[in-house]
Amino acid sequence: MSNNLTRRGVLKSGAVAGAGVALPTIFTASSASAFTNEPTGSNVVLGFNVPQTGPYADEGADELRAYELAVEHLNGGGDGGMMGTFSSKALDGTGILGKKVDYVTGDTQTKSDAARASAKSMIEKDGAIMITGGSSSGVAVAVQGLCQEAGVIFMAGLTHSNDTTGKDKKANGFRHFFNGYMSAAALAPVLKNLYGTDRKAYHLTADYTWGWTQQESIAAATEAMGWETVNNVLTPLAATDFSSYIAPVKDSGADVLVLNHYGGNMVNSLTNAVQFGLRNAQANGKNFEIVVPLFSRLMARGAGENIKGIVGSTNWHWSLQDEGSKAFVKSFGTKYGFPPSQAAHTCYVQTLLYADAVQRAGSFNPCAVVEALEGFEFDGMGNGPTLYRAEDHQCFKDVLVVKGKENPTSEFDLLEVVEVTPASQVTYAPDHPMFAGGALGTCNPGA
Amino acid sequence: MFGLDKKDSTLLILVAVLTLLAPFILNPFPSDSGLAQFNAGYPDLMQRFVIFGIFAIGFNILFGLTGYLSFGHAAFLGVGSYSAVWMFKLLSMNILPAIILSVIISGLFALVIGFVSLRRSGIYFSILTLAFAQMSFALAYSVLTPITNGETGLQIALDDPRIFGGAVAADGSIPVTNLFGLEMRSAFDMAVGPWSFTFSAGYYVCAIVMLIAFYLAIRIFRSPFGMMLRAIKSNQTRMNYTGLNPKPYTLAAFVISGMYAGLAGGLMASMDPLAGAERMQWTASGEVVLMTILGGAGTLIGPVLGAGAIKYMENIFSKINDNVLHGWFAFLPDGMEDAVVWILHPFVGKGWHLTLGIIFMLVVIFLPGGLVEGGQRIARAFKGKKAKETSEKATTEPAE
C-alpha cells in the first residue's frame, strides 16, 4: 500500500475514478417505463413468497407446489387444471399476454421482516411484477403494504385475518381466501345445533392480527346465540408447547375450548389438550368440546387421531365434487401423488385470477389489473359463484364447515364436509365494525 | 486528513470508495447471465449491508475495545426502529427527526440497561444483557402491543396524524419516507450493455451515514478514551489499582454502541417503514456477534466485512432453490445431475445457515482474527519480503 497520500494524489485519483463512473452514462439513457418492473422481454416474472421454515412450513411447501402447477398450466403444460373449468376463457396456455411465465421463490420464515426483505429482493432484483404468498396474516399484511408502496400487485395466499381486507386493506392487494368473520358466521349455526346455546367458551388465541380478529369474530358470533366467553388467553406464535396454557382450562368452569391456532400451533395445542384429557372430560354436566375455527387437511394429518369429531371451517376441500375441484385435484394428484390442501387451492386460484385479469385488461399495469379484478364475478374455481368485491378486494363465496372424520379411509381422507354455508350468509357490509378503520387508497403503479 | 494519520485516512478513503461505488462492485455479472443470481447490487440488500455495517461497527466499539460481550444489542436496534416508525406516524415522513429520536431513545435505553448490566463482567454481563434483550422482545411481542403492534409489526397507516403535514400523499396513498423531499425509494437504473446498475437514494443516504459512523469509530479507536477502553480489556484489576475507575468508561462505551445500534434501527425503518419484534430477538443479537467475530473483532473494517458477508449469504444463498441448481448442472448426465443437486441441496436455499455455520467455524479455527486476518495473510503472501521490511522498520521506531 502506498504511503504517499497527498492532497494532489487524492484529488487526481478521485477525478479519474469519477470520470470512470460517469463514463458509462454517456452511452445510455435511463429507460423510462410506465410502471414498476414492466416486462419488456419474452417472459414475465412472478414472485412466490411462502414460509419454508417456521410454524407454517407445511402450508408453505404445499403453496409452492400449487404455484409451480399454476405456472405449468399457464405456460400450456400439463392438463390445464382449472383453466378448463374457469368461467373466464381469456387464458390460452401461452403464458400471460403471450409472455412465458417465470417465477422466483423466497422464504418468509413466518416473520414480517424476513418476508418484506424477500419480497423486496424479488421486486428490486428479479423484477417480479406480482407478489403472492402468505400463510400468516401478519406477513400478508406486511407484504401487502410493501407491494402497495412499491407499485406491484399482491395476491394474498393463505391469510384469514379480518384486517387483511379490513383495517389494513390496500388498493394493490387482493384476497381470495375467506376470513375470521366468515368462519364465525358459518360455524355459529352448526355449533348451536351440535352443542346447544348454553355453553361457556375458553379461547386460546395466537397472538397476532389473525388470532385477534378471529377470536373477536367467533366470540361475537357465539355470544349472539347465548354462549358465554369465560376467558381469552393469547399465546405467542412461536410457541411449541401449550401445556401451561391448557392446564388452567379444566378448572375455569368452561365447557368448550376454542383453539384460535393454525398450522403447527394448532397441531401442538390440540395434542396437548387431548393429553390433558379434555376430550373425555365432563364440565357443567356436559361433554367437554373442542372447536378449531380454521382447519386444514395438513393440520388434520399433523394432529392424527386427535382431530376426530372436531368441528371447524375451511375454504375448500379436495373431496368437493364440482368440476373445478375435480380438475384441480386430478392435475395436482398426477403431478405430486397426493391431493392439494386448501392453501394450495387458494394460491393456485390466485395465480390464475391474476393471469386472467392481466389478459382481460391487456396490460400488466397494476392499475389496469386492479380495475379488471374489482367486481369480477367468476365460477368454476371450486367454490361456486364468487365475487371479488370492489370495496375491499375480498372474495365472497361459500364456506365449508367440516369435521374430523371418525373412520378415515386413507391418510388424506381426514375431513368430512358437514355443511356448505352459502355466500349470502357470510356476506357483510364493507363498513362492518370489524373491518372498519382502513382505506384502500388508490392503486399505485410505481415507477 | 480530518485529524487522522495516513494509514487511517487510506482506510477511510478505501471504505468511502467501496461504499460509493457499491452499485458497480456488487453487480459484476450481466443481468441476463446465469451468474446474475450472485449479483447483490439491488437497493434493499445494499442498504442492509451498510445498515448492518453500522450496527456491527457500534458493537465492535464495545466488544472489540472493552471485551464486554453483549448478547442483547438487537434490543437497541429494535428500540431505534420503533422510535423511528412512531416519528413517521406522529411528526412527518422526513427521516431526520426519526433518526435523531431513535438514536436518543436507544441511548437512554442503553444507559439504563448498561447501568444495571455493567455491575458484572464476563459471562454474567453477557447473560444479563441477553436477559434484558429477551425481556424487551417479550414486551414488544405481546405486552406492549398498543405501542408495538405485536407480532404483526408497527406500520404506518393513512389515518396517522403526521402533524407536520404530508399525512397523505398527493395521489391519496401513504406517503413515502424522504429527506427534505428526496424520496428514499427513488432509484435510477443505468443500463450499460448487458449490465444494469441501480443507484438508490436510500442507499446513498445510508452509505453517507455509515461513512460518518465509521469516521467516528476511527476517532474513538485512536483517542485516549479508546486507549482507556483497551486498558479495561487487557486488565481491569490493574486499572483499579492505579486508581482509575473503569465503570464510567465502560458505561460510555456501552451507551455509544447502543446509540450506533439505534442509528442502524432508525435507518432500517427509514428505508422500509416497518418495525417488527423479531428484530429484537436473541438470534438477531447473536447475528451481530457473528458479524463482528467473522470480520475480525477489534479491527476497524472487520465488522463491516462480517456484516456484508452474513447479509450476502442470507439474501443470495437462501434464494438458490433446487430449480436453480438443476439449471446450473443441466450439462451433466441425468443421474449425476440429480446426485450433485442432492449433495448441494442442504447447503443452499433454506439451508444457508448450514453454509454460514461451516464458514464461521473455519474462520474461527484457522483465522482467529477473522476475515481481516485472512486479507492480511494474503497481502503478506503477495508482498512477501517488502512487507516484512516495513514491519521491521515499524518495530524499530523509538517509543515516545
Closest-approach residue (CA) in chain B for A444: B173
Q: A-chain residues within 8 Å CB-CB of B48?
A: 117
pLDDT value of position A26 = 42
> Look-up: residue for cell 372430560?
A281
CB nearest B45 (choices: A10, A121, A163)? A121
What the block records as the C-alpha cell of B366 is 484457522
Q: A-chain residues within 8 Å CB-CB of B13?
A: 5, 10
Each residue's pLDDT tens digit, B117-165: 999 888 999 999 999 999 999 898 878 888 888 777 888 877 788 888 7
- Cβ–Cβ contact B42 with A under 8 A: yes
ipTM of the complex: 0.80
Each residue's pLDDT tens digit, A431-440: 888 888 778 8
Task: Identify whether the C-beta of residue B45 lies closer than 8 Å to the C-beta of residue B317.
Answer: no
Domains of chain A, earliest start first: 43-178+318-392 (3.40.50.2300), 181-314 (3.40.50.2300)
Q: Sign of torsion, CA B296 B298 B299 B305?
A: positive
Cβ separation A207–B142 shorter than 8 A: yes
Cβ separation A107–B172 shorter than 8 A: no
Q: A-chain residues within 8 Å CB-CB of B276?
A: 111-113, 142
Cβ separation B10–A5 shorter than 8 A: yes
CA–CA distance from B30 to each of A248, B20, B41 (Å)? 61, 20, 12
Q: B-chain residues within 8 Å CB-CB of A204?
A: none
CB nearest A112 (choices: B44, B185, B276)? B276
The model's confidence at residue A129, banded by pLDDT at 50, 70 and 90, is very high
Each residue's pLDDT tens digit, A152-164: 999 999 899 898 8
pLDDT value of position B400 = 41
Residue segments in chain B with a per-residue pLDDT below the cut of 70 = 1, 171-172, 385-400
Q: A-chain residues within 8 Å CB-CB of B145?
A: 207
Amino acid identity for residue A446 in this structure: G
pLDDT value of position B38 = 84
CB nearest B191 (choices: A28, A148, A207)? A28
CA distance A101 to A67: 11
Cβ separation B21–A21 shorter than 8 A: yes
Q: Best residue in B151, B186, B189 to probe A by mutation, most A CBs within 10 Å? A: B151
CB nearest A441 (choices: B9, B24, B172)? B172
Each residue's pLDDT tens digit, B191-249: 888 888 888 899 999 999 999 999 999 999 999 999 999 999 998 889 889 999 999 99
Each residue's pLDDT tens digit, A242-251: 999 998 988 8
What would be the CATH architecture of the domain defined by B6-281?
Answer: Orthogonal Bundle (1.10)
Nearest-CA distance A255 → chain B (Å): 27
- Please indicate whether residue A411 or residue A365 has the higher confidence score (pLDDT): A365
Residues of chain B numbered 158-197 and touching chain A (CB < 8 Å): 158-159, 171-174, 176, 185, 188-192
Q: A-chain residues within 8 Å CB-CB of B42?
A: 121, 124-125
CA distance B353 to A114: 14
CB nearest A121 (choices: B17, B44, B176)? B44
Nearest-CA distance B297 → chain A (Å): 23
Closest-approach residue (CA) in chain A for B139: A236
Q: A-chain residues within 8 Å CB-CB of B151?
A: 112, 138, 207-209, 236-237
pLDDT value of position B34 = 72
Cβ separation A124–B17 shorter than 8 A: no
Q: A-chain residues within 8 Å CB-CB of B192?
A: 24, 27-28
Each residue's pLDDT tens digit, B189-198: 888 888 888 8
- Cβ–Cβ contact B386 with A under 8 A: no
Q: B-chain residues within 8 Å CB-CB of A106?
A: 318-319
The model's confidence at residue A41, banded by pLDDT at 50, 70 and 90, is confident
- Cβ–Cβ contact B279 with A under 8 A: yes
CA distance B379 to A341: 57
Residues of chain B numbered 334-373 and touching chain A (CB < 8 Å): 349-350
A231: Cβ–Cβ under 8 A, 6 or more apart, which residues?
A202, A203, A252, A254
- Please indicate whether residue A175 or residue B344 has the higher confidence score (pLDDT): A175
DSSP string, B81-143: HHHHHHHHHHT-SBHHHHHHHHHHHHHHHHHHHHHHHTTS-HHHHHHHHHHHHHHHHHIIIII
Mean pLDDT, chain B, as a whole number?
87
CB nearest A138 (choices: B152, B279, B318)? B152
A189: Cβ–Cβ under 8 A, 6 or more apart, which residues?
A421
